[in-house]
Amino acid sequence: MDIKIIFLIIIYSILIQNFVLSRFLGLCPFFGCSQKLSSAVGMGLAVIFVMVLASSITWILYTYLLDPATSVMGFLATDGVAPDLTFLRTIAFILVIASLVQFIEMFLQKKVPPLYRALGIFLPLITTNCAVLGVAVLNIDGFSAIGLDGKLTFLQSLVQGFAGGVGFLMVLVLMAGLREKLELETIPESMKGIPVAFIMGGLMAIAFMGFSGLSI
C-alpha cells in the first residue's frame, strides 16, 4: 500500500478538493446547521461517522454483489458470469446510508439527547446529504486528480470517507465561528440569516481555491 497515495487522498479531500467548498456537496447542513458552534461540531462528527461507515459498507456491497468482475453472484448465471448490476449502485447506496443514519438517530436519542434535539431535522437529512452519497460514488469512480483511475481499494475508500468528513467538519466549524461573530454586527434586514451566509460561503470557496495551486 503506497503511503503517498493515502497522504494525497487526505490532503486533497480536506483542502484542495474540499467536499463543501470545492465540490459543493453537503450544502444543506452547511447552511442549516452552522448557526451555533456546538451543533456544528456535533453535526460534523455525525457526518464523519456516517461517511466512514457508508464508505466501507457500500464498497463491500459494490465489490461483492454489484460489480460483475468481483461479484460472488456468479452462481446465478448459467455461464458462471455474474450479472452486471452496477446500475443499482445509487439505490443500494441510499438504502445503506438511510439505515446507517436511522441507527445513528436512535443511538443519539438514547445516549446524547441534547445533541439529538439540537440537530433536529438535520440529522435525518444526512440521509439525503449528497456529500455522503457523493463519497460513496467517488470511491467507485476513482480519484483522477491523484492518478487513481479505477475503483479505490478498501483502505483508500475508508481514508477518503474519513478525510472527506474531516474536511466537512472543518468547514462547518469555520462557518459556525464566522456566523456567531456575525450575530453581533449590523446587517440589513433583508440580508440577515441565509443570504449573508451564502455570500460568506462563496467567499470561503474562493479562498479555498487558493489551495488548487498546491502540488505535492
Q: How far is CA 161 from CA 90, 114, 139, 150, 215, in A?
A: 17, 27, 8, 17, 22
Q: Smallest distance, Å, CB 136 to other proteins?
A: 14
> Binding segment for other proteins among 28-36, 61-69, 162-170, 174-182 (CB under 8 A)?
61-69
84 near other proteins, judged by CB under 8 A: yes
Q: How far is CA 64 from CA 9, 53, 57, 60, 72, in A?
A: 24, 17, 11, 6, 6
38 near other proteins, judged by CB under 8 A: no
Of 110 and 149, which CB lies nearer to other proteins in the complex structure?
110
187 near other proteins, judged by CB under 8 A: no
* Ramachandran region, residue 54 (left: φ > 0; alpha: ψ -120 to 50; beta: rest): alpha
Q: What are the beta bridge partners of residue 143?
A: 148
- What track of x and - describes contact with other proteins for positions 91 through 130 (by CB under 8 A)? xx--xx--x--xx--xx-xxx-----x-------------
Which of 201, 184, 156, 174 has the alpha carbon at shortest distance from 9? 156
Q: Smallest distance, Å, CB 18 to other proteins?
A: 30
90 near other proteins, judged by CB under 8 A: no
CA atoms within 13 A on the CB side of 142: 8
Q: Smallest distance, Å, CB 51 to other proteins?
A: 18
Cα separation of the two ends of the chain: 18
Using CB under 8 A, list all residues that contact other proteins.
61, 65-66, 73, 76-77, 82-85, 88, 91-92, 95-96, 99, 102-103, 106-107, 109-111, 117
